[in-house]
Chains A and B, each alone.
Chain A
Amino acid sequence: MGALKSMLLDLKACKVYWKNIILVLFVLGLFVINMSKSVDALFLVIFLLFLPLWQYPFAAYDKCSLLYLSLPQKKSDIVLGRYLLAVLGIVFAFILSACIGLICDPQSVKNGDMFLIASVSTLFIAVLISVQAPIFFKFGYMKSRIFAFLSLGIIAGLIGFALPEAVVGKDISSVMEMAKSPLIPVILLIISAIIVVVSYCISLAVFEKREG
């Protein structure tokens, strides 16, 4: 219950960023219109658009940390609330992907492409959350932002170097062919969940020790 309240406070504290969120949704709408024939890429875009949204509660907390700490709640509620918000964002992105997939290209849902892209995107966001959140709870927003984008750069770099040019250079459908197994999305989601849980435990430990 305390974590839910904290999540709601996160959303309220982000009020200043709501304009940005509306802008993001508007951009998303444009993508839906223009990319309805390339649904696979659209799924990735949906998840990528959630990346900036994840930053807002951190930025907001930095400005009103006294409020969070003065309210009758435990520090663990603040941490859990933040992770719940992140998971909610991923679930929302997942559902949005599925809905757009069903409307624009039902075939992509049937053959599992949508689930693969969504699970890869989930892993991507899970890594970002898992790196950024503990650093935020230990050092604050500015440092966590730097590390979050650094981690994204490292992941992007690894993908660029690790995958053969044949895969990266061509369209995304060739990647799909490599990962047709229905187990792949499930494994990716499980890995994502494990990463987030480990990150939550670290965040909780560091935030309990943090002063102010």
Chain B
Amino acid sequence: MTDILNVAGLTKCFDGFTLNNISFRLQPGYIMGLVGPNGSGKTTTIKLIMNMMKKDKGAININGYDSVKGEVEAKELIGYASDECMFVDDWKTDDVKKTLALYYKKFDETQFERYIDDFDLPRGRKIKDFSKGMKTKLMLAAALSHDTKLLLLDEPTSGLDPVIRTELLDILQEYIVRGNRSVLFSTHITTDLEKVADYITFINDGKLIFSMDKDSVLETYSVVKGSPESFNSVKEILIGCRTNRMGFEGLVLSENAAKLPRDVVCEKATLDDIIVYHRLGIRPWAL
């Protein structure tokens, strides 16, 4: 089966930051969450997929089209929504419709209108007067109305209230039902991932930590807790930890759980734990 998205060895260097050798693939019919702390390279990865930036190394393939050589064809297949509204402030929904109709061969005006109605977006109001949620919905309506294969969303749920967030997640799930479409979305809100993501790709400080299915991620890592005395016996296997006078709490690979002393408690890790402890690492003062 052809991957909807295949990213191989993606590298991009900036002054003081390098997105280093990122590789992952997304097959049709799945939702992938792209997670990582602020400044880890999520938005850069998405912009490179969209060919909004020039990559230094690597290859990006979107449903068979190279993201650079086949840029126009690839973008026809992508529904993109950024974390900020892309449209002109003084436009109304009708202006958005006309612009998209101008560019996308398979733009479906009726479908766009239906989304505008479903999302309760006011037709007579300028976009600058829309709320954050309305703007996100408008971008989604635009992204969903031109027969796309891949939805590429850069932090679509940030700043949205829980009701709209839930609505949005429902839309994403509905989007992939046909089985030939996929979603890649970056987020900080791990509860959203727990609800809808099939795969998780985690980038930290420009490096790919993992890209695997959600259940495997949660099985791969464990959280350990113990007293200050037992810290020395586990510090070698810790990926990241927090310490205080009462003891420590940290992240380990589940396969190392067998090496833990008896007084160290081992629990299932959440996505939040995995992200936080990778970011924290082992602080020198902890050692």
Of all chain B residues, the one with the shortest Cβ separation from A17 is B90
Contact among B53, B89, B102 for A8, CB-based, below 8 A = B102
A71 surroundings in chain B (CB, below 8 A): 75, 103
User: Any chain B CB within 8 A of the CB of A16?
Assistant: yes
Stretch at the interface among B1-9, B28-36, B76-84, B275-283: B76-84
A143 surroundings in chain B (CB, below 8 A): none
Q: Mark B129-170, 1 if CB is under 8 A from A, else 0.
A: 000000000000000000000000000000000000000000
How many A residues have CB within 8 A of the partner chain? 22
A74 to B74, CA, bound (A): 11
Interface residues of B in 95-115 (CB under 8 A from A): 95, 98-99, 102-104
Contact among A12, A67, A70 for B75, CB-based, below 8 A = A70
Of all chain B residues, the one with the shortest Cβ separation from A15 is B90
User: Any chain A CB within 8 A of the CB of B87?
Assistant: yes
Of all chain B residues, the one with the shortest Cβ separation from A5 is B102
User: Any chain A CB within 8 A of the CB of B47?
Assistant: yes
Interface centre among A60, A66, A74 (most CB of B within 10 A): A66
Whether the pair B84, A72 counts as a contact (CB closer than 8 A) is no
Whether the pair A69, B72 counts as a contact (CB closer than 8 A) is no
B54 surroundings in chain A (CB, below 8 A): 209, 211
Whether the pair B99, A12 counts as a contact (CB closer than 8 A) is yes
Contact among A5, A63, A66, A211 for B103, CB-based, below 8 A = A5
Given the contacts A66-B82, A70-B75, A72-B103, A12 and B98 also touching, CB distance less than 8 Å: yes
A63 to B47, CA, bound (A): 17
Which B residues fall within an 8 A CB radius of A?
47, 50-54, 71-73, 75-76, 80, 82, 84, 86-91, 95, 98-99, 102-104
